[in-house]
Amino acid sequence: MPVKSKHNRRFKYFINYFLGPLLFIWLSYSIFKQVRQQPGLEQSWQHIRDSFYSSRIWLLLAVMLLMLVNWSIETVKWKLAVQRIQRVDFFTALKAVLSGVSFSVMTPNRVGEYLGRVLYMEEGKRLKAISLTIAGSISQLIVTLAMGFVALLILQKPVLDNGMITAFWMKMMIYGVLAVVVILTLFYFRLAWLVRWVDRLPGSRRYAWLLESLEHFNATLLLQLLSLSTLRFIVFIIQYYLLFRLFDVDVSWWQGWWAVSLSFLVMAVVPTIALITDLGLRGKISLQLLGMFSSNQLGISLTAVSIWFINLIIPAVAGSLLILSIRKIFKNKNG
C-alpha cells in the first residue's frame, strides 16, 4: 500500500473514531451545562411533559408527517435529475434516497449519500448518476446559503450585540457568503458550459463521459430543482416552528425563520459527521442563535434533538433495512 494512502487512512480513522467522538462529548457537555443553568428548569420539564398528554401532541405528529413530505420532495428532485440516463418510478427513487441517508450518517457532511443512491441505478450508469445527484445537492446548497445570507443581514445587530462575533468577521462572513452564492449560482446555471470546458482539457477525455449527462440540464430543469429545494427549506422551517410551539420556545415566526436559516448556514460550512458531531453542533448553534430571543434553553435543545432524530435517524434506519434487502438481491444475482 502506498505511504500516502496509508497516511490518509490513518487520518480518517483519527477524525472519525477519536476527534469526532471527542468533539461530540465536549459539545454535549457544554449544552448540558447551559441547560442546567436555565432558571426554572424543573417547571420547563414539567411543562414539556404535560405537552405530550395535551392536545398539542398534534404538533409532533405534524412534524412527523412533514418528514415524509420532506423526503418525498427530495425523491422527486432526484428522480428528475437522473431521468436523462435512467427512468425510475417514485418508490424506487424513494428507496434510493433513504438508502443514501443511511450511508450518509457516518460520512463528513453526508457525502456518503451518493453511494447509497447509485445502488439502485443500472450497471454502467452509476458513476454518471453521481454527477447528476451532485447537481441536485448544489441546488439545495444555493438555497441554504442564500437564505443564510439574508439571515446574516437581518440578524447582524443582535448577533453583534450578543458578542458572538466581531464586526470585522461579520463583514467578512457577509461578503464571503455573498461571493459564494453568486459563484455557485453562475456555476449551477452553466453546467453544460462546464462540461464543454472540461472536455477541452488535456487528458480529460477518459473522464468526460461522467459529466456528459449534465449537458442535458436545461434552465427549466435547473429551475425545477431549485424550486423543489426551496420547498424543502420551507418544510424544514415549519418543522422547527411547530416544535418550538410544542416545547414552549417563545419566538415569533420571523425570529424563528431567520435564526434557523442562520443555523443552517453554519451547519453547511462546518464539516460534521451526522451520527457523531452533527447533533452536538446543531444543539450548540441553536442555543446560541435562538437564545437571543428565548430563555427556554431546554426547549431549544429538545427541538434540535427532535429535528435530528425525526429527519435523519428515522430515515437512516429505514434506509439501512432497504440496503439489507438490496444486498440480498445482488447476492442472488451473483449466485
pLDDT digits 0-9 by tens, 242-253: 999 988 899 999
pLDDT at 272 over 70: no
Tell me what pLDDT residue 15 has: 45
Residue 42 lies in a domain: no
Inside any domain, residue 134: yes
Average pLDDT, the chain: 78
For residues 179-196, b (16+ Cβ closer than 10 Å) or e, as one string? ebbeebbeebeebbeebe
Domain contains 129: yes
Q: How far apart are the first and last CA of the chain?
A: 31
For residue 121, what is the DSSP state? S
Helix (H, G, I), strand (E, B) or coil at 247: coil
- Residue 227 confidence (pLDDT) above 80: yes
Q: Does residue 248 fall inside a structural domain?
A: yes
Show the domain range for 104: 63-334
The mean-pLDDT minimum among 70-84, 215-229, 263-277 falls in 263-277
CA geometry: angle at 32 spanning 29 and 36, to 5°?
A: 140
Say if 31 falls within a structural domain. no
**pLDDT number for residue 85:** 79
Number of domains the chain contains: 1
Cβ burial of 266 (10 Å; 0-12, 13-18, 19+) is middle
- Sign of the torsion formed by the C-alpha atoms of 140, 141, 146 and 150: positive
Residues comprising the chain, all counted? 335
**34 or 55: which carries more pLDDT confidence?**
55
In a domain, 23, yes or no: no
What angle is formed at CA 306 by the lines to CA 301 and CA 311, rounded to 5 degrees? 135
Residue 210's pLDDT is what?
Answer: 53
Quick check: is 281 in a domain? yes
259 assigned to some structural domain: yes
- Count the neighbouring beta carbons within 10 Å of the beta carbon of residue 170: 17
